[in-house]
Structure 1
Amino acid sequence: MRFTKEQEGFAAAVRAFCAAECGTLAQRDELTDGGKLSNSPEILRKLAAQGWLGVSIPEAYGGGGAGMVDECLFLEETSRGLAPITAYSTGLTAAQTYLRYGTEDQKKDILGGICAGELEAIALSEPGAGSDLGSVRIKATLDGDHYVIDGQKTWTSAAHVAKHLLLLARTDSSGPKHQGLTLLIVPTDVPGLEIRPIETMEAHTVNDLFFTGVRIPVANVVGEAGQAWKHLMRGLSVERLIIAAMSLGAAERSLDDVLGYVKQREQFGRAIGSFQAVRHRIAELATEIAYAKAFVYDVAARIDAGEEDQLTREGSMAKLKCTEIAKHTALEAMQLMGGYGYAREYGMEGQVRKALAPPIYGGTNEIQREIISKSLGL
């Protein structure tokens, strides 16, 4: 698709912001306590002040009132620019459910907060329920005008920095497993909730959650009690496009960095990028990324045109392809950079670490292949 001049200007402005505010390793270290944190409140505040957070959220709730094409441009450029705002995408995913099923008060509170730089989280997975979310067991028992929540969630991104959780809980066990599920807004400072970090190869991002007698008002139900499965579908479908746009930006950053390296690094009296074995690998990476970008923005444009309900397959395709390309590009770039690819100073080792998780979260790529194959009648 062709971008408008306004969209091209927007992407260029975000790119320039990232270069100025977090373009060097020293800047990013200062913003993230030496790489220990995955989110910078300072950067989020500055992005909010620009009016760029929630660019796809309606103006009535503090957003930019644009569409998913503009949102994907923002996600692509902030990912490419290594902006430490990982949790923003989690809140953006939650926003899809609030937009369609939330009350006006919920929308004003949650969506307005996202646009102002506040972070939100979604608590779905459990120790026994990952890809099979219908097997969720955490209980929310009705007690007067409150639900009492007991159980555990795991792999919950951004819970430690979020203002609220969008919690998937079982409120009725009498029917099939996809029925009796309810979405509840849970403030992260509520008594009875323990948030425990999970150590991974990246900065602190994911958490275990433990609920012990947590009381949440009935007014915190999002949508209709017992109907969470259908409420989640829009958010999860758009989430795949969100992940795809971020992975596209990550792949572009890896290509940018390795391209700069092979043009400058000399061996045998000439730049290593002049050797056919190197330049052909770079050409293949650039081609894959270009095709992925065209597809991502085609899907985004179709969502903006009101076709989102028919885009389950395309969203899965975008997520599958872009996350695999980001991983492949980072690994290829590390190989082409030799020993320097492992050095933190050059950044590629961080790109590799960041590229390994997206094929797993947001619905594993194995699940995406299942969704695609079923849509083909297999």
Structure 2
Amino acid sequence: MERGERVSSFIDESGRQAFTRAVRDFVARECGTREQRDALTDGGRTAHNLEISRKLGAAGWCGVAFPEEYGGGGGGVADACVLLEELAYGQVPVFGLGISMIVGRTALRFGTERQRREIVGSVSRGEVSAVAMSEPEAGSDVGSLRCAAQRTPDGFVVNGQKTWISCAPYAERILLVCRTDPTARKHAGITMFEVPRDTPGIDIRPIDTLGGREVNDVFLTDVRLPHDSVVGVENQGWQQLTAGLNFERLVCAATFLGNARRAFDDTLDYVRHREQFGRPVGSFQALKHRLADLATELECTSLLVHDVARRVDEDPDRQLPRAASMTKLKATEIAKQAALEGMQMMGAAGYTLAYDMERHLRQNVVATVFAGTSEIQREIIGSSYGL
């Protein structure tokens, strides 16, 4: 599908089905084999391939949820969820796409006209943007961040450290969240900035993890930023962060729903063909019932994710903290479960590098930790009932 072919067709179901088929064709062509995926990811050690994301951008898909006037496709959150789920299912190495969409969405909602055109246009072309929010002492408790931007006559000077920053080494820009008023109460005095990655004073150091080198420490030493690098309103960053949680949690949920579906299908394929005691192991009740339960949970998760996405599109300004947290909680928990169940049902084969299950486990086991832990999501959901 070329850029010109996709316009308003996303807004109806037939257009969305055609879009899904087109994405699946792309996936099969570009990384449908284990050999292709290994070549694109350095044997599974990298999570994002810029060549692939730029191809997606050239097709007009990276900007699917953004207005056409800023280089996007004119679709909505539901279309972004379809894209992210299918790419994750196909194991396409574009981990930075969802994060970049979040940055683009933030610029679209709060940025200046220049920022909208530059940032949204960049994301739509398939370039990467990163978010620098977490710190060594401010993970789940983001309001405790200490990285500080001090106002000067020419702009701001930033000093501090960020950690667990995904895709920072190949990001065009970083959406930096830091403290601009040290005297304000905990969740006040926070501001968002757009920061080109190559700005002097930025030092990016990869962190080795089970999933490869997908996260990084970012050190900022006397980083000078102009006044017009502020995204939104100075000292209103916390309100802007919370306003974007619907989209952020749906991006995460759609991605891990795709991962969960792939882990399930890989397990199903294995147990259909692996024989013991004269018949496929999947025919034994111990495995058959576990797969039945997992399939049911996946169907429920899919209905939840896509229903909430449609509700967000119907009223983009409405906050859905309970529903958004439910989608993130459910999708990431089922992704982790699908990988753990797959490993168990495949036995020793699931532990070998010959199958993708070990990669599913490395990718999905962390899903319930980042972007707001399951415990944080449960706290939000419980609080929404007045508890």
Specify the TM-score bucket, using the shorter chain as the normaliser: over 0.9
Which residue in 2 is equivalent to 1:324? 333
Which residue in 2 is equivalent to 1:123? 132
Residue from 255, 272, 284 that aligns with 1:275: 284
Displacement of 1:237 after TM fit?
A: 2.8
Displacement of 1:234 after TM fit?
A: 2.4
Displacement of 1:310 after TM fit?
A: 3.3
Give the SS at the match of 1:160: helix
Displacement of 1:16 after TM fit?
A: 2.0
1:139 aligns with 2:148: yes
Which residue in 1 is equivalent to 2:251? 242
CA contact (8 A) 1:25 1:345 kept: no
1:38 aligns with 2:36: no
Alignment of 1:207-356 (within 5 A): 207-306=216-315, 309-356=318-365
Which residue in 1 is equivalent to 2:22? 13
Displacement of 1:49 after TM fit?
A: 1.7
Give the SS at the match of 2:166: coil
Give the % identical residues: 50
CA–CA distance in 2 between the matches of 1:246 and 1:361? 13
Amino acid paired to 2:230: V
Which residue in 1 is equivalent to 2:35? 26
CA–CA distance in 2 between the matches of 1:3 and 1:244? 22
1:98 aligns with 2:98: no
CA–CA distance in 2 between the matches of 1:32 and 1:292? 28
Per-residue CA deviation, residues 86-118 of structure 1 (Å, 9 max, x unaligned), is 011111111221111000100110110001011
Alignment of 1:58-77 (within 5 A): 58-77=67-86
Which residue in 2 is equivalent to 1:85? 94
Residue from 176, 198, 218 that aligns with 2:207: 198
CA contact (8 A) 1:96 1:234 kept: no
Where does structure 1 differ by over 6 angstroms across 4 or more consecutive aligned residues? none
Which residue in 1 is equivalent to 2:165? 156
Could you state the TM-score of these two structures normalised by the residue count of structure 1? 0.98
Amino acid paired to 2:351: Y
How many residue pairs match? The answer is 377
Give the SS at the match of 1:280: helix
CA contact (8 A) 2:245 2:324 kept: no
Give the SS at the match of 2:203: strand
CA contact (8 A) 2:155 2:227 kept: yes
CA–CA distance in 1 between the matches of 2:284 and 2:256? 28
CA contact (8 A) 1:93 1:236 kept: no
CA–CA distance in 2 between the matches of 1:278 and 1:211? 51
- Structure 2 residues without counterparts, runs of 5 or longer: 1-10
Give the SS at the match of 1:229: helix
Per-residue CA deviation, residues 180-210 of structure 1 (Å, 9 max, x unaligned), is 1111111110111100111111121111111
- Structure 1 residues without counterparts, runs of 5 or longer: none
Could you state the TM-score of these two structures normalised by the residue count of structure 2? 0.95
TM-aligned CA distance change 1:9 to 1:130, over 3 Å? same
TM-aligned CA distance change 1:364 to 1:308, over 3 Å? farther
CA–CA distance in 2 between the matches of 1:216 and 1:14? 39
CA contact (8 A) 1:302 1:308 kept: no
